[in-house]
Structure 1
Amino acid sequence: MFKRVRYYIFLKDVLLLALSAFGGPQAHIALMFDLMVKKRRYLSEEDLIELNALCQILPGPTSTQTITAIGFRIGGPNLAYLTLLVWMIPAVTIMTIAGIIISHLQARSISIEFTKFIQPMAVGFVSYAALRISQKVIKTKTAAVILVLAAIGSFVFKSPFVFPLLILAGGAFTAFKYKAQPIEEKDRIKIQWANFILWAGFFVFIAALGGVTRSLPVRLLENFYRSGSLIFGGGQVLIPLLYTEFVEFKRYLTSEEFLTGYAMVQTVPGPVFSFCAYIGTLAMRNFGIGGQIVGALVASIGIFLPGTFLIFFVIRFWEGLKKYRIIKASLEGINAASSGMVVAAAVLMFLPLESNVQNIAVIAGTFVVLVFTKIPAPVIILLGLGAGFLF
């Protein structure tokens, strides 16, 4: 009985975070410290820092994996899956509704000109993300070179299949610097493969099913599952892959629709990866509202599930794995390549916009406000929407 009450309170706390956690992974972690460490004492500060660090080096949404891992520690896999659902549902619901509204307006040839300011604002947000991530992870000349090469590679080739190759190449390059890492005493690692097999098996199954059926929902599930399995660094790093795959490669969305959705997700609490629900909704716009809801569901399942499988797999033997120098050394290149892709995304997202004074001023203004003030992102976006309606 005590456990059930504790689990109920924990899930209620997760819902509170899902409805109030604005500002991306860094802000989410700060709120987790306040509520889950200081107030509820579900775990220690050291435990939360370590869990967050582990999630940062795994593909998938960092704050989502962190809060799911906390649920796993408290109540095992069942509570962890419930945690994932409670955490993602509010943001996914909001972004699904946003996608339905945008597609409804477009289908009736109603202008979305009121979004004209928030589209360049989205470029300003991505530019700011590129700056913040670069400041955080670029500490050496090697990392700077990897950033530049990754940015050029993702800009030139513009293929969703290039991104995982760039990340793996960056990690492999800095792995050779492992001798610079301190030696730690190692214990024998005992690996339980069940969740890894589940992750890989589902990956192969949906890829084969999509190839056989050619069903759009199944192909969307595979597209997002692949993205969630291969992207390191959180929502900002996901953006260039989504833009390349769904705007430039498959043309499920226009650049205007993509930028509008990305700006909107800045006003929504919870995980930035909920943006995928918006993309899934628009990708299925020809199948009615029911089809759009299916699109949002498969996109959300696809993007969130692989990171959950992987954190369940790795958390069991992380204590031993993190002592290996080659693992620590590879993180420098992985993070540098990821930040380079965000730099390229800012350029790619700017190119479809008109290069007029208004758009450049809005991009620059958004970037400056984010760098030099503490105005919350939702307030900035709402001001942009208000200005679009007025002018």
Structure 2
Amino acid sequence: MVEVLFRFFVLGCMSFGGPVAHIGYFQREFVDKRKWLDEEKFSSALSLCQFLPGPASSQLGMFIGYHRAGYLGAIAAFVGFTFPSFALLTAAAIYSAHLGDANWLTLLIAAAKLLAVVVVADAIYTMARKFISDVVTAAVCILSAVWILWQTGLVAQLMPILVAGLLGWLFIRKPKSDAVVQKPTSLTQTLVLFGLFAALLVLPAMFSAPIANLFNHFYQAGSFVFGGGHVVLPLLQPLIGDDVSGNVLVEGYAAAQLVPGPMFTIASFVGASMDGVHPVVGSLVATIAIFLPGALLLFAALPVWQAVMNHHKFSGSVVLINAAVVGLLVAAFYQPVWISAVHSVSDILAVVVGFAILRKYNLSVFWLLAGMLMYVIGKTIV
């Protein structure tokens, strides 16, 4: 558990670039480097997180922690990965810090975005070598990427995985394994956690205390948001009403993009700015409330999902779902990762060199971040 907390804390301190970059960091750190889980399990968990509301990268991190050290590991992964941005955004709200005014931070973010391009490219390359094995899987990957780039919204996110799973089940047959078919390990777990998720949608609204209202607003936001932190902003606006000034949401959104870690920690900034609640308490309650629905739904769905993915009749579905997941990463690599980071020919060269170094020498991403920072500083001086 302590190791899980430490590893995720380190990533939480440097994981700029949004959820797709976070997935790249997780894949490199916990699949390639530390072997905590294999590519199949990583891809299966990632595809499940795509179906659920909430922050997909944080849910994937909780799954990795759970796989490593049980429920305490899941909590450790969440705390470690979320705490750096929680602390920074809480302090920003309390002291009204204008993070965007710091030139050094602007340079660091530019370097971190270029590093994110390299890390996500490495994750795509590694997963493609594992899951793109023939013309059919390549076609599914390409079509999934094109669909995501063409369409937007919840349907765009879920459709490639659903269609790939259906086509794989209908048309792809792998040899039947002699392995014992796994059944859901705990339907009780599914029912209890889903029941708790539903109860928390209703119970806090019955109380008028400021803390209960605060929890209720952010829990509802976390329960119905697909697509990450960028989507939570318009949902929070009508929920919090007059409890904060008009500029707080915009300031929180801007601040959340300037710190590492999950975008959902916009809740930390807004919670610390709520009227009638101590800033630290408000930030803590809002942060827990917005992440809790995704965690409950993840562990409620996990037993059934694992049983389905391990069933021999769905082996063809798994093949094409994995290919579709690679396609989703390819689309996200272009927009927003590449678009937000690469603006010149020299940026392209820096990314290519960084990718080559990462593949050949397997350097720590800290050294790559230092190299990207030197490049950004040099480009600014020139």
With structure 2 as the length reference, what TM-score do the two structures score? 0.66
The whole-number CA distance in structure 1 between the counterparts of 2:339 and 2:264 is 25
The whole-number CA distance in structure 1 between the counterparts of 2:273 and 2:140 is 41
Tell me: CA distance 1:303–1:181, structure 2 relative to 1, closer, same or farther (3 Å): same
Note the C-alpha offset of 1:331: 1.0
Residue equivalent to 2:72:
82
Gaps of 5+ in 1: 1-10, 34-47, 72-79, 231-240, 266-274
1:151 and 2:149 aligned: no
Q: Is the 8 A contact 1:194 1:313 kept in 2?
A: no
Bigger CA drift: 334-343 or 252-261? 252-261
The whole-number CA distance in structure 2 between the counterparts of 1:162 and 1:323 is 26
The whole-number CA distance in structure 2 between the counterparts of 1:188 and 1:364 is 43
Specify which of 319, 325, 335 is matched with residue 312 of structure 2: 325
Q: Is the 8 A contact 2:86 2:265 kept in 1?
A: yes
The whole-number CA distance in structure 1 between the counterparts of 2:342 and 2:31 is 37
Note the C-alpha offset of 1:93: 1.0
Q: Is the 8 A contact 1:175 1:326 kept in 2?
A: yes
The whole-number CA distance in structure 2 between the counterparts of 1:21 and 1:113 is 19
Residue equivalent to 2:85:
95
Residues 355-366 of structure 1: pairs in structure 2 closer than 5 A? 355-366=343-354
Residue equivalent to 1:337:
324
Note the C-alpha offset of 1:330: 0.9
Note the C-alpha offset of 1:352: 4.7
Note the C-alpha offset of 1:291: 4.5
Tell me: CA distance 1:336–1:62, structure 2 relative to 1, closer, same or farther (3 Å): same
Residues 218-237 of structure 1: pairs in structure 2 closer than 5 A? 218=216, 220-221=218-219, 224=222
Deviation per CA, 1:274-319, whole angstroms, max 9, x where unpaired?
x25545445667546654444433344344443333345667xx4x
Residue equivalent to 1:4:
none
The whole-number CA distance in structure 2 between the counterparts of 1:293 and 1:100 is 9
1:370 and 2:358 aligned: yes
What SS does structure 2 have at the residue aligned with 1:182? coil
Specify which of 238, 241, 245 is matched with residue 231 of structure 2: 245
The whole-number CA distance in structure 1 between the counterparts of 2:80 and 2:179 is 44
Tell me: CA distance 1:203–1:243, structure 2 relative to 1, closer, same or farther (3 Å): same
The whole-number CA distance in structure 1 between the counterparts of 2:333 and 2:310 is 36
Residue equivalent to 2:117:
123
Bigger CA drift: 60-69 or 125-134? 60-69
Gaps of 5+ in 2: 13-24, 50-58, 208-212, 238-248
1:309 and 2:300 aligned: yes
Residue equivalent to 1:181:
175
Residues 287-306 of structure 1: pairs in structure 2 closer than 5 A? 287=274, 291-306=282-297
Residue equivalent to 2:26:
24
Q: Is the 8 A contact 1:92 1:300 kept in 2?
A: no
Deviation per CA, 1:145-177, whole angstroms, max 9, x where unpaired?
111121112112221442122212211111123
Tell me: CA distance 1:128–1:300, structure 2 relative to 1, closer, same or farther (3 Å): same
Aligned length: 330
The whole-number CA distance in structure 2 between the counterparts of 1:119 and 1:185 is 44
